[in-house]
Every structure is written in structure tokens, then in C-alpha cells.
Structure 1
Amino acid sequence: MGKLKRKKTNIPRHKRMNRNSRLQSARHWVPKYEGKNLVYGYSKHYAVDKLCAVKELELLGFRTSEHYKRELKRAAVQKQQEAEKRKARKRKQEFMEEDLWEDSDETFAFIAGYTDGGAPFGITWEEREQSKVTEPEKNFIPIYSDNWDLPF
């Protein structure tokens, strides 16, 4: 039996580097950079956030304004707050759905009642998921029904 081959990654090496490797590589990359915003280019090339790019460029001897750093920090905090709000909204929506389906178990999403023998009946979880998928068909009006007496 032969040697097992390692899987090759599709991620470029410069995006997998740690800080020490990035700093060594950046000494050669920065003079070749032709863009307008060095921080943006560094963050894209090495797959780091802009605050990290600013810190590492300062370690290499490049200066950035305090105003720019404050704006980056403010944007990072704002992004984190928006993510927390989204998570809170999602938790609230899930909580509301749980309240709607409070009479449920692992088989039934909604238990409408129980038979004389004590067995539950209602909407199963699979039926509930299917109803979510086919929801646009809710307003479908049938053109023909078996109960109608048609002249032909």
C-alpha cells in the first residue's frame, strides 16, 4: 500500500500566514503595492481585518492617523452591535415560534388533540416544514373541483 497523499488546500499561502510570517512577507510586498489605500490592500492580501492591518503596518514603520484608527474601531464596534441585534431578533423570533407550538413533542409540531386511547394527533414536523416551502401556494384558487356539477 502506497503513501497517503495530503489534500491540497485552495487557500493561497499568504492568506494562511501568522503574524511573524506576514511581517516578513510584507517587507517585500509593500513596495510592490500599487493601490491607493495600503491598509485596505494589506487587509485583503493577507486576509486580516483592518485594525490588524494598521497594527502590523505600524510595526513595519508606516504611520496612520489617529482619526482613521478611531473610525476603524468605531466601525468594528458598530458591526459587532449589529450582529448582536440580529442574534437577539432571531432568538426572539424562535421564542415566539416556540410559544405558538407549545403543545408539541419530538414527533408532532402541533398536537391538536388526543384519541380515546391517549395517542396524540396533529401536524408533524415534516408537514410543518413542507408547509413553509409551499406557502406561496396558500392563495391558490382551484379552477375545478370534484364537487361541482359541470355541464360537460
Structure 2
Amino acid sequence: MAKHKKKKSNIPRHKRLKRTGRLQAAQHWIPKYNGENLVNGYSKHFNVNKLCAVKELEMIGYTYEKAYIQKLKDSEIQKQQESEKRNAAKKKKRKQPEEDFWDEECDETYAFIAGYTSGGAPYGITWEEWEEEVNTQSPNKT
């Protein structure tokens, strides 16, 4: 039998590293970094959030003001809240069409309103016709 090849990841290795690997790789990467904001560059290069980048850079020996760290925490909380709002809106949007369908498409006379005449009278399947249709599709077992 032939051996199966392992699937090769499309994600660069430096973005898949765990903390210990990142700390070792950062020792070689930081001297090569040409950008202005080391925290931003670290977070993008190693695919971590900025708070994690600050924590790891402090482990290496860099220092940051508490005000800067608090600003990062606040922005992280704000991102989380915005994400929760978006998710709640999506969830609400998914539920709405089903509720609207039954509110608008039936009434006490019609089980399904197909449309309205030019005079405004509804037409469609009445509840009695609906019951007959359901009963003819499912045979009674006696």
C-alpha cells in the first residue's frame, strides 16, 4: 500500500507557533523589523492580538506604559461588544422571516393567502381545504 502524504498547511509557520516558539523566533525577528510600532508588527507577524503581543514583548525585556496597555484592553473590550451586537443582529434577522411568514400569510379564514384581488380581498387556501389536503396525504391507521 502507498503511504498517504500529510496535508501541508497554507498558513505560514510563524503564524502557527505557540508562545515558546514565538518567544524564540522573536529574538531573531525583532532586529530585522523595520516598522514604527513593534507591538502592531509583532501582533501581525505572529497572528496574536495586541495584548498578547505586549505580554510577550515584556517577557523578552521591553517595557510599556500602563496607560498604553489599558488603551489596548479598552479597544479589545469594544471589539468584543461590537462583535456580540453583530451576532445578535444576525440571529434576530434569521428568526424574523419565519415569524413574519405566519403573521402575514394566514388569518382566521385562510391558512395560506396567495394574494389579494384589486379590491383588496384575500384569496388562497382556506383552513378547511388545508385540513382536507393534510388528511388525504396521511392515511388514517385504524
**TM-score, reference length from structure 2:** 0.72
3-state SS, counterpart of residue 119 of structure 1:
helix
Matches of 2:72 and 2:47 in 1, distance apart?
A: 16
Percent sequence identity over matched residues? 50
In 2, the alpha carbon distance for the partners of 1:111 and 1:69 equals: 59
Of the three residues 102, 127, 132, the one matched with 1:118 is: 132
CA-to-partner distance for each residue in 1:92-137, whole Å, 9 max, x for gaps? Answer: 3333322212379xxxxx94435366226xxxxxxxxxxxxxxxxx
Q: Which residue of 1 aligns with 2:61?
A: 61
> Which has the larger share of helix?
2
Distance 2:89 2:60 in 1: 42
Distance, in Å, in 1 between the alignment partners of 2:10 and 2:94 is 37
Equivalent position SS for 1:48: coil
Q: Which residue is equivalent to 2:50? A: 50
Say if 1:117 and 1:44 are closer, same or farther in 2 by CA, change over 3 A: closer
- In structure 1, the residue matched to 2:102 is 102
- 1:93 corresponds to which residue? 93
TM, length-normalised to structure 1: 0.67
Aligned to 2:23: 23
Alpha carbons of structure 1 residues 92 and 4: separation in structure 2 relative to 1, 3 Å: closer
**Cα-to-partner distance string for 1:55-88 (whole Å, 9 max, x where unaligned):** 0000000011211111111111111111111122
Aligned in 2, Cα 1:102/1:26: closer, same or farther, shift over 3 Å?
Answer: same
Q: 1:133: which partner in 2?
A: none
Consecutive unaligned residues of structure 1, counting only runs of 5 or more, are: 105-109, 121-152
In structure 1, how many angstroms separate the alpha carbons of the residues matched to 2:5 and 2:85? 45
Larger CA deviation: 29-38 vs 84-93 = 84-93
Matched, 1:38 2:38: yes
User: Residue type matched to 2:43 in 1?
Assistant: S
Code of the aligned partner of 1:92:
K
1:3 aligns with 2:3: yes
Change (3 A) 1:27 1:116: closer
Return the alpha-carbon distance in structure 2 between the equivalents of residues 92 and 4 of structure 1.
45
Shift of 1:51: 0.6
Secondary structure of the structure 2 residue equivalent to 1:101:
helix
Partners of 2:32 and 2:45 in 1: how far apart?
Answer: 12
SS of the residue 2:132 aligns to: coil
